[in-house]
Protein backbone atom coordinates (compact mmCIF):
# COMPACT_ATOMS: atom_id res chain seq x y z
CA UNK A 1 0.00 0.00 0.00
CA UNK A 2 2.81 2.39 0.82
CA UNK A 3 4.26 1.67 -2.63
CA UNK A 4 0.99 2.86 -4.26
CA UNK A 5 1.05 6.03 -2.18
CA UNK A 6 4.63 6.67 -3.23
CA UNK A 7 3.70 6.24 -6.94
CA UNK A 8 0.79 8.66 -6.53
CA UNK A 9 3.05 11.24 -4.86
CA UNK A 10 5.67 10.86 -7.65
CA UNK A 11 2.98 11.28 -10.32
CA UNK A 12 1.68 14.41 -8.56
CA UNK A 13 5.20 15.84 -8.37
CA UNK A 14 5.81 15.14 -12.09
CA UNK A 15 2.46 16.77 -12.94
CA UNK A 16 3.43 19.84 -10.90
CA UNK A 17 6.79 20.03 -12.68
CA UNK A 18 5.17 19.78 -16.09
CA UNK A 19 2.59 22.44 -15.13
CA UNK A 20 5.43 24.71 -13.97
CA UNK A 21 7.28 24.11 -17.24
CA UNK A 22 4.11 24.90 -19.19
CA UNK A 23 3.61 28.11 -17.21
CA UNK A 24 7.22 29.15 -17.84
CA UNK A 25 6.86 28.50 -21.58
CA UNK A 26 3.65 30.56 -21.72
CA UNK A 27 5.33 33.43 -19.83
CA UNK A 28 8.25 33.33 -22.27
CA UNK A 29 5.85 33.42 -25.24
CA UNK A 30 4.00 36.39 -23.72
CA UNK A 31 7.32 38.22 -23.35
CA UNK A 32 8.20 37.53 -27.00
CA UNK A 33 4.73 38.62 -28.18
CA UNK A 34 4.99 41.85 -26.17
CA UNK A 35 8.29 42.78 -27.88
CA UNK A 36 7.73 45.48 -30.52
CA UNK A 37 7.93 44.28 -34.12
CA UNK A 38 10.66 46.83 -34.86
CA UNK A 39 12.97 45.08 -32.41
CA UNK A 40 12.72 41.76 -34.28
CA UNK A 41 14.66 42.25 -37.51
CA UNK A 42 14.53 39.52 -40.18
CA UNK A 43 17.80 37.99 -41.25
CA UNK A 44 19.17 39.50 -44.48
CA UNK A 45 19.70 36.14 -46.19
CA UNK A 46 17.89 36.60 -49.49
CA UNK A 47 18.14 39.54 -51.89
CA UNK A 48 15.28 42.00 -51.94
CA UNK A 49 12.67 41.59 -54.66
CA UNK A 50 11.36 45.11 -54.16
CA UNK A 51 10.81 47.09 -57.37
CA UNK A 52 13.99 48.87 -58.43
CA UNK A 53 14.06 52.62 -58.06
CA UNK A 54 15.68 53.34 -61.43
CA UNK A 55 14.40 52.29 -64.86
CA UNK A 56 17.77 50.71 -65.66
CA UNK A 57 17.34 48.39 -62.67
CA UNK A 58 14.50 46.52 -64.37
CA UNK A 59 16.70 45.66 -67.33
CA UNK A 60 19.48 44.47 -65.04
CA UNK A 61 17.06 42.10 -63.32
CA UNK A 62 15.71 40.84 -66.65
CA UNK A 63 19.24 40.21 -67.90
CA UNK A 64 19.47 37.35 -65.38
CA UNK A 65 16.82 35.31 -67.22
CA UNK A 66 17.38 36.28 -70.86
CA UNK A 67 19.82 33.42 -71.55
CA UNK A 68 17.58 30.65 -70.15
CA UNK A 69 16.69 28.25 -73.00
CA UNK A 70 13.05 27.28 -73.54
CA UNK A 71 11.47 24.63 -75.77
CA UNK A 72 9.14 26.04 -78.46
CA UNK A 73 6.74 23.60 -80.10
CA UNK A 74 4.32 24.27 -82.96
CA UNK A 75 1.44 21.82 -82.90
CA UNK A 76 -0.18 21.07 -86.24
CA UNK A 77 -2.82 18.78 -84.76
CA UNK A 78 -3.40 15.60 -82.79
CA UNK A 79 -4.95 12.20 -83.28
CA UNK A 80 -5.37 8.88 -81.47
CA UNK A 81 -4.73 5.59 -83.23
CA UNK A 82 -4.45 2.01 -82.08
CA UNK A 83 -1.11 0.27 -81.79
CA UNK A 84 -2.22 -2.05 -84.62
CA UNK A 85 -2.67 0.94 -86.96
CA UNK A 86 0.56 2.50 -85.73
CA UNK A 87 2.50 -0.63 -86.66
CA UNK A 88 0.94 -0.60 -90.14
CA UNK A 89 2.28 2.88 -90.96
CA UNK A 90 4.79 2.92 -93.79
CA UNK A 91 6.53 5.42 -96.05
CA UNK A 92 3.82 7.50 -97.72
CA UNK A 93 1.11 6.72 -95.13
CA UNK A 94 -1.26 9.56 -94.26
CA UNK A 95 -2.29 10.17 -90.64
CA UNK A 96 -5.47 12.20 -90.24
CA UNK A 97 -5.26 14.96 -87.61
CA UNK A 98 -8.04 16.68 -85.69
CA UNK A 99 -7.13 20.14 -87.04
CA UNK A 100 -8.83 21.52 -90.14
CA UNK A 101 -6.87 22.98 -93.06
CA UNK A 102 -6.39 26.70 -92.57
CA UNK A 103 -6.87 26.59 -88.78
CA UNK A 104 -4.25 28.41 -86.73
CA UNK A 105 -1.59 26.23 -85.11
CA UNK A 106 -0.79 26.29 -81.43
CA UNK A 107 2.60 27.63 -80.30
CA UNK A 108 3.69 26.15 -76.99
CA UNK A 109 6.63 27.21 -74.80
CA UNK A 110 7.69 24.46 -72.41
CA UNK A 111 4.27 22.84 -72.99
CA UNK A 112 2.23 25.98 -72.25
CA UNK A 113 0.12 27.55 -75.00
CA UNK A 114 1.35 31.11 -75.55
CA UNK A 115 0.24 31.93 -79.11
CA UNK A 116 -1.40 30.77 -82.31
CA UNK A 117 -0.15 31.28 -85.83
CA UNK A 118 -0.02 30.20 -89.46
CA UNK A 119 2.68 28.32 -91.36
CA UNK A 120 5.00 30.28 -93.65
CA UNK A 121 7.88 29.14 -95.84
CA UNK A 122 10.99 31.33 -95.88
CA UNK A 123 14.06 30.25 -97.89
CA UNK A 124 12.81 26.64 -98.10
CA UNK A 125 12.35 26.46 -94.32
CA UNK A 126 9.09 26.33 -92.41
CA UNK A 127 8.26 29.06 -89.95
CA UNK A 128 5.21 30.34 -88.15
CA UNK A 129 3.71 33.81 -88.30
CA UNK A 130 2.08 34.62 -84.98
CA UNK A 131 -1.50 35.76 -85.38
CA UNK A 132 -2.72 35.71 -81.77
CA UNK A 133 -0.79 36.02 -78.50
CA UNK A 134 -2.36 34.46 -75.39
CA UNK A 135 -2.32 36.97 -72.53
CA UNK A 136 -1.26 35.82 -69.06
CA UNK A 137 -4.81 36.34 -67.76
CA UNK A 138 -6.22 34.13 -70.55
CA UNK A 139 -3.64 31.44 -69.69
CA UNK A 140 -4.70 31.55 -66.05
CA UNK A 141 -8.37 31.21 -67.05
CA UNK A 142 -7.55 28.10 -69.10
CA UNK A 143 -5.59 26.58 -66.21
CA UNK A 144 -8.50 27.14 -63.80
CA UNK A 145 -11.00 25.32 -66.04
Rounded distance between C-alpha atoms, residue 73 and residue 113, angstroms: 9
The pTM for the full model equals: 0.49
For the 70-144 domain, the top CATH level (class) is: mainly beta
Helix, strand, coil shares of the chain, percent, nearest 5, are 40, 20, 40
**Tell me: the pLDDT tens digits for 80-113?**
999 999 999 999 999 998 888 888 899 999 888 8
Residues recorded for the chain: 145
Domain map (residue ranges) of the chain? 1-40, 70-144
| Tens digits of residue pLDDT in 111-123 | 888 999 998 888 8
Amino acid sequence: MSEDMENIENAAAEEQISEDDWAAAMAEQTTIDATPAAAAQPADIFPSFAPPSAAGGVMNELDMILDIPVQITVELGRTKITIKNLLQLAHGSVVELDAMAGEPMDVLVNGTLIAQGEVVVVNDKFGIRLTDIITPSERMRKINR
